[in-house]
Chain A
Amino acid sequence: MTLACREDDVPPGEGRNITLEGTRIAIFRTDTGWYAVDAVCPHRGGPLADGIVCDHAVTCPLHDRAFDLRTGESPSGDRVTVYPVEVRDGEVYVEVVRAPVAA
């Protein structure tokens, strides 16, 4: 797991971006916990960290695609990769797993 930020760095109910091991990731802090997904909406490249967040969903600010932060799935059929997050002693860690590459 890689250290991403301190807990205070992300305002409650919002998201912020970071590049970890070459991957652009959006980290979200919500009432139900911490989540990390791909930073860029697969639809038209919207910045998901700037979206509206609730318990465990984010809505892209450009065209309102909604993604479940637990699974990365969207009712539209689009999908983002979900990265495991852990908070220890006020610090936020993310596991950067690469998406499987098609053979």
Chain B
Amino acid sequence: MSQRDRIVIVGGGIAGQAVAEALRERDPHVGITLVCGEDALPYDRIRLSEILVDGSDAATLALRPEEWFGDHDVDVLLGRWVEGGDLDAGVLTLDGAEELRFDKLVLATGSQPLLPPIPGIGLPGVHPFRDPADCDAIRASAASATHAAVIGGGLLGLEAARGIAAQGCDVTVVHLVDRLMERQLDPVAAAMLEPALADLGINVRLNAATQEILGGDRARGLRFKDGSSIEADLVVVSIGIRPEKTLAETLGVATRRGIVVADSMRTSHDRVWSVGECAEHAGMVYGLVAPILDQARVAADTLLGRTAAYTGSILSAKLKVAGIDLVSAGEAEGDTAAVVSDAAAGTYRKLTVRDGKAVGAILLGDVRGAEALVAAVRAAEEVTDPLEALAAASAAGPADLPDEAQICNCNGVCKGDLVAAVEVDGCTTPREVMARTRAGTGCGSCKPAVIDIVAMATGGLNEEPAYLCACRKQTREELADQIRAQGLRSVSEVAQCCGTGRDCGACKPALAYLVSEVNDNRHREERHARYINDRVHANIQKDGTFSVVPKMRGGVTTPSELRRIADVAEKYEIPLVKVTGGQRIDLLGVAKEDLPKVWRDLDMPSGFAYAKAVRTVKTCVGEQHCRFGLGDSMGFGIEIEKAWEGLHTPAKVKAGVSGCPRNCAEATIKDIGIVAVEGGWQVRIGGAAGASVREADILDTVETKAEAMRLSTTFLQYYREHADYKERTYDFVPRIGLDEIRRIVTDEQLGAALRERFRLAKAATIDPWLERDTPYHPRQFTDLDQQPEPTVVVGPPEEARR
């Protein structure tokens, strides 16, 4: 070890990580060692309830990727425990009797969940809610449990209850005192919270002192002090934390409830500091992230010999339960308070004042102006008229906030930091600002506020035109003009001529579509400009394998096709075969190098399920079979699919044809939907049932199939030519306006021109799965350590050479 000072941090939680980061920010040279008792790098415990709700991988909670520690010269010991040491000599003893030398020591040992010493606490089915392993155990139990109970109605207990309710399990929150979240809420707000929780399937039982967890072999229920009981085969305990001070006591550092620290964050021993949930400052132990980060900054200063003092934190909290907006700060009650409440709407807004200064705020159901009010409480601002202050806050926009207003409580980022990221560092989007400042990367609840402030600082996010190439600030229209004027036929030619797509490459697929569309598909295809899905004509999955969906027009298949699909699934050991929402069969989990062989054995054309293209035309059986049928929806759907298949579009196009207004093919929520009605066909456009739901607009009702085909095809081509890349019809139709679209597609001349360009483009389409025999490149489907199939021909397939 060199001459430089070495600071050892014991504890790999948020506090330990925060101290390491604050030290490295201040001093690039000081030696830092982080000793983590768990086998995992520090993770964000605040977001634990997210894992409980959606079951995502605990790795998504990592505070920093593994490389960060190497890059920042922070040594990490994973899965190692400190058993003791000699503070005066500057030596710690690790498990296995290994010694670790230090000049200064930081105890960031955190806390343990508090478990009440009641009978049955050790039964199977009883869990604390503290780490990812607890989340896994709770999720596993919730799947089979019939009734869950959460002991503890604080912030964390309510988040746990929400996570359990999200699994569809009935849950009751059991709380010792007469109101929920008594540290953050007054009785009125706490009472208003109950119906909001009930809407989420969470029952509340107050004044309930749990005396025993019932059940002989596993948890079966709870019995209370008043003798009553409830059933519960899953019990989660979240009644608070117990500072972890065992190591401090072994080392001879003074403790009370926690490890006692002075304003400098130094303990009773002058080489030892303590930060986080294990530390007791002025009689307070803090279990929230914002105070811990404040403490870490002070400790980093004093560890490096600078002067700094921690003077306590004003607590603020946001309940991270989807469907309930709740922010609180400071004290719940004071001398004077202004309250604006609407019981019917479930909103409650309160500003508490003592000695003429703001000391607390509660916002439930309506959190407008939360940042401004929390900032006022933190700064103990003078308030002469609290009612007026409340009203002003609800009207306040991001522009009205002071620079010191803290927006991201998790990472301690103020409005001024966000504005500086835009004005000084040149960030232009919320994403860039969040990457730079770390705002919004903790619990994520401040993201809307971050977006508002970035919009203000950049002068409005929506006023910018929709650039195809954001780096060079070129629009689709400008580039299309260039492509036409100069006769450009490939992405490379456009890149050479205009610089498009050279800086970040993000727009290359949009450019590839534009080049193909303007040239009526008589362009020079360059696979490097296409998404991987369009390079290998299959849909990439999260594990890097692909899904294969063969063409099945109108959702109609044959026994022979089904037999081939079954044979392929067995031969290539395809792990999942699924029927899709678009009435197709999806083979999931195919390795990239198997794709050509799978296509060959299927001997069916591509279903285009991976592309921004005409995907599917879904049909019901229609008048041929259905006793309600008014038109031949199945036959017409197949006809439409043949007419449109193979055409790429700005974003995917899903279509449907229903044989009567009962609409079994869901045509009213398709990009293009056709419905047989009495005496004709209704043509609808711009429908969706995805992230947003939109009923398709009626473009027109016509008498014959031929007219319906002509009208819908004309619209499809108009969309192909005028939508921005990735703009679905449900955004495109309202943007252009239904009347304007109707005027253009029904205009005799304009319509005829659109249909002529459609005909040209369609004539140049081919089945991309033919590349199984004529790939673009010998290694189109293989990595460098795999052997490509021997029969390859270099260059585009014959059909594409025009």
The answer to the question of A42 belonging to the interface, with a C-beta cut-off of 8 Å to chain B, is yes
The answer to the question of A85 belonging to the interface, with a C-beta cut-off of 8 Å to chain B, is no
Query: Contact between B67 and A11 (Cβ–Cβ < 8 Å)?
Result: no
Range of interface residues on chain B? 35 or more
Query: Contact between B527 and A14 (Cβ–Cβ < 8 Å)?
Result: yes
- Decide if the interface of chain A is mainly helix, strand, loop or mixed: loop
Q: Which of B8-16, B496-504, B714-722 contacts A (4 or more CB under 8 A)?
A: B496-504
Query: Contact between B70 and A102 (Cβ–Cβ < 8 Å)?
Result: yes
Bound state CA distance, A78 and B503, in angstroms? 19
Question: Residue among B67, B74, B75, B780 with the most chain A CB within 10 A?
Answer: B67
Query: Contact between B776 and A11 (Cβ–Cβ < 8 Å)?
Result: yes
Query: Contact between B504 and A57 (Cβ–Cβ < 8 Å)?
Result: yes
Number of residues from A at the complex interface, CB < 8 A? 45
Which parts of B53-74 form the interface with A (CB within 8 Å)?
Answer: 60, 64-71, 74
Which parts of B420-446 form the interface with A (CB within 8 Å)?
Answer: 431-432, 435-436
Bound state CA distance, A4 and B75, in angstroms? 33
Bound state CA distance, A59 and B530, in angstroms? 12
Query: Contact between A53 and B66 (Cβ–Cβ < 8 Å)?
Result: no
The answer to the question of B532 belonging to the interface, with a C-beta cut-off of 8 Å to chain A, is yes
Min distance, Cβ A1 to any Cβ of chain B, angstroms: 15
Query: Contact between B779 and A47 (Cβ–Cβ < 8 Å)?
Result: no
Interface string of B498-524 (1 = CB under 8 A from A): 000111111011000000000000000
Question: Residue among A10, A54, A64 with the most chain B CB within 10 A?
Answer: A54
Residues of B within 8 A of A4 (CB): 784
Interface string of B343-364 (1 = CB under 8 A from A): 0000000000000000000000
Query: Contact between B783 and A99 (Cβ–Cβ < 8 Å)?
Result: no
Min distance, Cβ B364 to any Cβ of chain A, angstroms: 34
Residues of B within 8 A of A53 (CB): 505, 528
Min distance, Cβ A35 to any Cβ of chain B, angstroms: 13
Q: Which B residues are closer than 8 A to A by beta carbons?
A: 60, 64-71, 74-76, 431-432, 435-436, 501-506, 508-509, 526-529, 531-532, 535, 540, 542-544, 776-780, 782-785
Min distance, Cβ A40 to any Cβ of chain B, angstroms: 9
Task: Select A77's contact among B75, B435, B535, beta carbons within 8 Å.
Answer: B435
Bound state CA distance, A18 and B787, in angstroms? 12
Q: Which A residues are closer than 8 A to B by beta carbons?
A: 4-5, 8-14, 16-19, 27, 31, 42, 44-47, 49-55, 57-59, 61-62, 64, 66, 75-81, 99-100, 102-103
Query: Contact between B532 and A50 (Cβ–Cβ < 8 Å)?
Result: yes
Min distance, Cβ A30 to any Cβ of chain B, angstroms: 9
Query: Can you name 11 extra interface pairs (CB under 8 A) apart from A13-B527, A54-B505?
Result: A13-B526, A31-B502, A45-B544, A52-B509, A54-B508, A55-B502, A57-B503, A75-B435, A100-B70, A102-B69, A103-B75
Residues of A within 8 A of B431 (CB): 75
Residues of B within 8 A of A100 (CB): 70
Residue of B whose beta carbon sits closest to that of A39:
B783
Bound state CA distance, A49 and B536, in angstroms? 13
Min distance, Cβ B783 to any Cβ of chain A, angstroms: 4
Q: Which 6 A-B pairs have the closest CB atoms?
A: A13-B528, A54-B505, A18-B784, A50-B532, A17-B783, A11-B777
Bound state CA distance, A4 and B70, in angstroms? 27
Min distance, Cβ A92 to any Cβ of chain B, angstroms: 9
Residues of A within 8 A of B783 (CB): 16-18, 49
Bound state CA distance, A17 and B783, in angstroms? 5
Task: Select A12's contact among B65, B528, B784, beta carbons within 8 Å.
Answer: B528
| With known contacts A46-B544, A57-B505, A75-B432, A52–B531 Cβ distance under 8 A | yes
Min distance, Cβ B646 to any Cβ of chain A, angstroms: 23
Residues of B within 8 A of A42 (CB): 65-67
Min distance, Cβ A86 to any Cβ of chain B, angstroms: 16
Residues of B within 8 A of A66 (CB): 504-506
